[in-house]
Amino acid sequence: MSMINAAQAINQALHLAMEQDPAVICYGLGVDDPKTIFGTTAGLQQQFGPQRVFDMPTSENAMTGIGVGAALGGLRPVMCHQRLDFFLLAMDQLVNNAAKWRYTFGAPHRVPLTLRLILGRGWGQGPTHSQNLQAWFAHVPGLKVVMPASAADAKGLLLSAIFDDDPVVFLEHRWVHPATDEVPDGDVRVPIGQANIVMEGDAVTIVAMSYLVAEARHACQALAQAGVHCELIDLRSIKPLDMPALERSLAKTGRLLVLDTGATTGSVAGEIITRLSISHWSAFRCPPRRLCAPDCPEPTSYGLSKAFYTEAADIIAAVGDMLGLATLPLDALPPARPHHDVPGDWFTGPF
C-alpha cells in the first residue's frame, strides 16, 4: 500500500499500463507540458518516449478521430482532455464512431479507447468550464462511463478502462485529484460496474458519485453522532450501474437519497430512482429523494454559486426531512471551507 493522492494514483496506473503493454499510448493537450495535467502524466514521456507519449494540436474532433483509428488498428490509446467542456467538439467521433463500431461491424472490431475528461467546480469556472455531463455520455449505447471518488479507485478504474475492449469515458473531478488514500501497489484493478459500500447503515441509502462521496461521508459521520446510521454507496461506475448493490441496500433501509453532480432533468439520479421505483416499489417507506444541480448553467460569481452545489449540510437536511428529525446535527460537520473555490484548507489545486 502507498499513501498517495488521486493524481499520483492516475500517474501510477498510466506507468503500469504502458509498462505491461506496448500498445498503450498516451496523448492529448498538456500531456508533456511542465504541469503534466496536474501531475497525472509526469515522467511518462521521459520513460516511454515521444512516440508513445505526446501532445496534440488543439483540435478535439481530429485528435479523437485519431484515437478511434488507433484503437481499431490495435493500439490502446489513452486520450487526455483538460476539460470535459472542450471535448464536446468531438462528440461526433465518440457517439457515431467509437460507440457504434463494434455493433455495426461485429465483435472483432473493438475500440479500446480511454477518454480522460476533467470536470468539476471551483475557481469561478462558470457555465462553460464546470459541466458534469455523465448522464449525456451514459445515454449513448456502446459507451462505459466511470467517475472515481478516491485515489484507490482512480488507479483501479483507470487500469480497468485502459484494458477494456470498449470505449470508456473516465471522468475526473478536479477536487478528487488531491484526495489522499491508501492505494494498493501494483496492478490492482477495480471492476467497471461494481459499486462500493463506503459506510454501512440501516436508516437511509445514500447513493453518491465522484466528489459528492466526500460531502456525503461528512454528512454520514455527523448523522452517526446523532444515532442515525446511513448506508453510503459510491457508484464508481455510471454505466453500467450496479443495480443489485442498490437493490440490496434499499431492501435494508427502505429510504433512498441519490446525489448527482449533474443537472436535475435527465440525471443519473433520476434513472436510479426510476429503476428502483419500478422494480422495488414495495420496499420504499417514504418517497425517494435526489439532490442534483439546478437546471441552469453554473454561475461564475461567488454570490450566485455558493448555493448552487450540494454540500454536506444539504444532505443532512434531506435525510432529516425523510426521517422527520426535529433537530439536525449540523454542528458536527467539519469547519466551513476557507474559500468557495476549494474543498478545504488542504487543497493545493488543480484548478
Which residues contact residue 85 at a Cβ distance below 8 angstroms, ignoring those fewer than 6 apart? 119, 128, 129, 130, 131
Specify whether the CB–CB gap between 146 and 314 falls below 8 A.
Answer: no
Q: Find, among 295, 332, 308, 283, the residue nearest to 120 by Cα.
A: 308
60 is catalytic: yes
CA angle 299, 301, 306 (to 5 degrees): 80
Which residues contact residue 172 at a Cβ distance below 8 angstroms, ignoring those fewer than 6 apart? 6, 10, 116, 117, 118, 119, 148, 154
User: Quick one: cell of 179?
Assistant: 484526495
231-240 in b/e form (b: 16+ CB < 10 A) is bbbbbbbbbe
Q: Find, among 104, 107, 23, 36, the residue nearest to 67 by Cα.
A: 23
Catalytic residue among 15, 19, 60, 172: 60
Instruction: Please state, in angstroms and rounded to a whole number, the distance separating the CA atoms of residues 260 and 241.
Output: 14
Which residues contact residue 268 at a Cβ distance below 8 angstroms, ignoring those fewer than 6 apart? 134, 135, 138, 209, 235, 238, 241, 258, 260, 262
Specify whether the CB–CB gap between 170 and 134 falls below 8 A.
Answer: no
Catalytic residue among 129, 177, 215, 298: 129
Residues annotated as part of the active site:
60, 129
